[in-house]
Chain A
Amino acid sequence: MKEQREILPVLIEILQSYAQDPGLVVTEETSLTADLELDSVKLLDLMMEIEDRFDVSIPMNLLPDIHTVGDLAKKLEELVS
């Protein structure tokens, strides 16, 4: 079972490549929409990549509750377990 502290660095590495602003440093507090500037389609594509990386399903219905990188890491921890 993966814990959040194992998930977070992998997640940050993936998300860094999605950042529109190359100077942005992605942290647990980074907002997926406001800071990473991901529109709805890019957000869905990102989720597919994360699903494959962690071999897990993240149903679209969960997305409204995920705002920050930390929220996503927490949700992934639940799903992976």
Chain B
Amino acid sequence: MSLFERFRHIAALREEFSRVGDNPFNIVIEEALSATEAVVNGRRTILAGTNNYLGLTFDPRCIAAGCEALEHQGTGTTGSRMANGTYAGHLALERELAQFFGCPSAIVFSTGYLANLGILSTLPGAGTPVLLDADSHASIYDGCRLGNGEVIRFRHNDPADLDRRLGRLGERAAGALIVVEGIYSMLGDQAPLTEIVEVKKRHGAYLVVDEAHSLGVLGTGGRGLAEQVGVADEVDFIVGTFSKSLGAVGGFCVSKWPQLEDVRYAMRPYIFTASSSPAVIESTRMALRILEQEGSALRERLWDNAHRLYRGLLELGFSLGPETSPVVAVTLGRSKETALAVWHQLLARGVYVNLVMPPATPGTNCLLRCSLSAAHSRDQVDRIIDAFSSLREQVAAC
């Protein structure tokens, strides 16, 4: 059998996509014009399917910090954090992240994916129970697969189900690792963190919260869901990314446990990859500073846009995620062909959103995932709503 036999279904899907038009999973940004606009297929397009929540990708201060690092420190580190790839900037960013979260320890990774891979493949030892929310991001599943923990799923956002599954473990529940996300990327819903913390404390477990989509978005200081609901002290590890609210690329883990510093030297996804380039590190440091100093105003604009889009689409009768969020998911039907057609028509109307198909979606329906930015103008949000409005009939037929 050919090595490529297993990929025939992907080939068939690609062929199907190419018959209809653009492949939604291979869209090309021909020119990025701003945090919210790009040229796609030669057309000026509103970007409503990014994770640029605070709109910092074109902030002149971040760009200047990156340029200066590029000029004075070179294009890349060409090495691992454990060899020649730790520059003063990497350590400064770790100090600043630790300070921002009020934690003694912080580790910077080259991507957010690697942060989850590193922590979840390394922290749980052989047989340590790891309890995952069923709707966890692929990086969480992949991290667990790379490790030796005993992985058990619990029903999405269901603390009672988590409690039951921990209960089945008996004494082994003490020392188990629970993993949840601040905001879930597909539907934009938040974890019931207060209740999850209660369950965690009752069983003596540890808790990891992935704040990838909630950093900069939730909490009075932009630290995420744990800050917003007042349980930051009860969270053992916070994982996050620089590629969303901070507008760069990279990942991190902070912890109230100083022993995280020892874990650093055991994490293969940290050790066996090149470190982030100085330009990325310096633009991230600047973005973190902006988040600390100006985050409140940016969040206000972001949430204003989120409410505007959510309300607008709801009034048009679209089926949306369970709560208002900077991620607004429009639920379609099961037909991939119709979902693809609707996505194409949005793009033709100058609006780019993410098309998500099962099994990447929770459940069996396709989704059009919209995401907002503080940098979107009200006019842009209204144009997104107008584009959806013109497709109401097609969506209803999905």
Chain A positions near chain B (C-beta within 8 angstroms): 39-41, 44-45, 47-48, 51-52, 55-61
Interface residues on B, range: 10 to 19
Q: Counting CB contacts under 8 A, is B152 at the interface?
A: yes
Contact partners of B150 in chain A: CB under 8 A: 57, 59, 61
Contact indicator B153/A44 (Cβ below 8 Å): yes
Chain B positions near chain A (C-beta within 8 angstroms): 129, 134, 144, 149-153, 155, 164-165, 168-169, 358-359
For A41, the closest partner residue in chain B by CB is B359
A55–B165 alpha-carbon span in the complex (Å): 9
- How near does chain B come to A44, taking the closest CB pair, in angstroms? 6
Contact partners of B165 in chain A: CB under 8 A: 51, 57
- How near does chain B come to A45, taking the closest CB pair, in angstroms? 8
In the A-B complex, the 6 residue pairs with the smallest Cβ-Cβ separation, listed nearest first, are A60-B151, A59-B150, A41-B359, A57-B152, A57-B168, A59-B151
A39–B165 alpha-carbon span in the complex (Å): 24
**Secondary structure dominating the interface of B:** mixed
Can you give 26 contacting A-B residue pairs, CB < 8 Å? A40-B359, A41-B358, A44-B134, A44-B153, A47-B153, A48-B134, A48-B153, A48-B155, A51-B168, A52-B164, A55-B168, A56-B168, A57-B129, A57-B150, A57-B152, A57-B165, A57-B168, A58-B152, A59-B129, A59-B150, A59-B152, A60-B144, A60-B151, A61-B149, A61-B150, A61-B151
Contact indicator A39/B152 (Cβ below 8 Å): no
Contact partners of A41 in chain B: CB under 8 A: 358-359
- How near does chain A come to B175, taking the closest CB pair, in angstroms? 15
Contact partners of A45 in chain B: CB under 8 A: 134
A61–B151 alpha-carbon span in the complex (Å): 6
- How near does chain B come to A54, taking the closest CB pair, in angstroms? 10
Contact partners of B134 in chain A: CB under 8 A: 44-45, 48
- How near does chain B come to A34, taking the closest CB pair, in angstroms? 14
